Structure 1
Amino acid sequence: MQPPIDERVRSFLLSLSRALGTRIENVLDLYLYVSPETVRIVEIVERGGKIAGLRLAVRSRKKPDVWYYVAVGEYGAKCTCEGNTIGGKICRHIIIGVITWNMISLIKRGEDIDPTKLTWLSQGEREI
C-alpha cells in the first residue's frame, strides 16, 4: 500500500532539497508559488508508460507580465530566463518545473520522480 499523497510530496520535496544542496524553505517557497496563475503546462512528454518530462511557462516574480518557458526531463533542463540561458544556472523556474513534473506524475501515474537520478540537478550553480 502506498503512503498518502501528502506524505509522498513531503518526501519528494525533502529529497529535492538534498539533491539541490539547499534549505527546504527555499524549495517550499517554490512549491507554494505554483498555481494556475503562475504556471501553465504546455506539454507533457510520455514515454514507455511514464512521464518523461514536461514543458511549461512560469510567470516571473519580479516582472508579472513576463513568462519564462521551461523544459525539464530525465537528461536535462532548459529555461529562457537570463540566469539559465546566459549563466547556465539551475534557475527557480527549472526547480518549479521539476516540482510540477513530480505532481503530474503522482496524479496521473501514481509515480514519484527521484531527484537523485536527475544528475543534472547537482551540476553547476543554482539561482534559488
Structure 2
Amino acid sequence: MPQPQIEEKVRSFLLTLSRTLGVRIERVLDLYLYATPDKVRIVELVERGGEIAGIRLAVRSEKKPDVWYYTAVGYYGAKCTCEGNTIGGKICKHIIIGVITWNMTSLLKQGKEIDLTKLTWLHTGEKEI
C-alpha cells in the first residue's frame, strides 16, 4: 500500500513545482521523465540534521550527448555549469531536474518531500526552462 502514497506525493510535488515556476505541468513532466539513470547521475547527497539538504548531479545535455552539466541544488541556492546558468544566471532545466531528483531521493530515502517554500531562490530567479 505505500506505493500509492508515494505516487500521490510525487504528483502533488510536480504540480506545486509547476505552479512555483509558473510553467505548464507538461514541461515539468518532460523534465521528470528525462531523469533516467543514463541521463542523470547523482554525484553526492548532502545530508544535515537527518535530512537531505541538497544534491549534486551530472546531467547529460539533450542536444550534445557527449556533454554533461554539473548541477548542485540545496536550500540556499543552486548552480549549474551550463551557459544559461553560468552566463545568464538563470534557473535552467538542469537545476529543475536537480530539484526533482532531490525530492525523489528524499521521498525514497526518508519518506518526506522537500519543502519548496524554503527554496526562496526558486521563487525569485529568472527561469530558462
Question: TM-score over 0.5 for the alignment?
Answer: yes
**Distance in 2, Cα, partners of 1:48 & 1:124:** 27
| Count of residue pairs the alignment pairs up | 127
Q: Distance in 1 between matches of 2:125 and 2:33?
A: 25
Secondary structure at 1:83 match in 2: helix
Conserved in 2, the CA contact under 8 Å of 1:51 and 1:105?
yes
Q: Percent of pairs identical after alignment?
A: 78
CA RMSD in angstroms, aligned pairs only: 1.1
1:62 paired residue number:
63
Contact kept? 1:14, 1:24, Cα under 8 Å: yes
Partner in structure 2 of residue 10 of structure 1? 11
Alignment pair present for 1:92 and 2:93: yes
Alpha-carbon shift at residue 20 of structure 1 (Å): 0.6
Note the residue ranges of structure 2 that are not aligned, 5 or more in a row: none
Q: List 4+ stretches of structure 1 deviating above 6 A.
A: none
> Cα deviations across residues 57-113 of structure 1 (Å, max 9, x unaligned)?
000000000000000000100000000000000000000000000000000011101
Unpaired runs of at least 5, structure 1: none
Could you tell me the TM-score, scaled by structure 2's length? 0.95
The question of whether the paired residues in 2 share the 8 Å contact of 1:12 and 1:114 is answered with: no
Partner of 2:110: 109
Q: Any conservation in 2 of the 1:15–1:116 contact (CA below 8 Å)?
A: no
Distance 1:97 1:51 in 2: 13
Q: What's the offset of the Cα at 1:124?
A: 2.5
Secondary structure, counterpart of 2:99 in structure 1:
helix
**How far did residue 116 of structure 1 move?**
2.4
